[in-house]
Amino acid sequence: MARQPLARTISIRISYSMLEAVDEYASNENKDRTEVIRDAITQYLKLPLERTEERFNIVDSKIDALNEEFKKLANRVSVCLEFVEENSKKKNLS
């Protein structure tokens, strides 16, 4: 059974004035547009805010961990490439 993703990207059409209001609110609350819209939907549908926030925090933590692993792997690849390059130069000089 396929696992459902924790989040999906959707497109909606809203008026310019509504978008300006969302952006102004987001700026005043130091949030991004997505957070404001997500919070508004959560409140309107009376969904448990803690659960929603908790799930996104878990996803963010996993993304951060993956980014750290990626950096480590990229560093290892860089070291390996330098090693191969140095050995190639030594063989060409011999």
Q: Write out the DSSP string of 15-65.
A: -HHHHHHHHHHHHHHT--HHHHHHHHHHHHTT--HHHHHHHHHHHHHHHHH
* Residue with token string 């926030």: 53
Burial of 82 (0-12, 13-18, 19+ CB in 10 A): exposed
Q: What is the pLDDT of residues 6-54, one digit of tens each?
A: 678 899 999 999 999 999 999 999 999 998 998 899 899 998 766 667 7
Percent of the chain at pLDDT > 90 equals 50
- Specify the long-range contacts of residues 18-21, CB closer than 8 Å, at least 24 apart: none
pLDDT at 2: 61
Is the pTM higher than 0.75? The answer reads: no
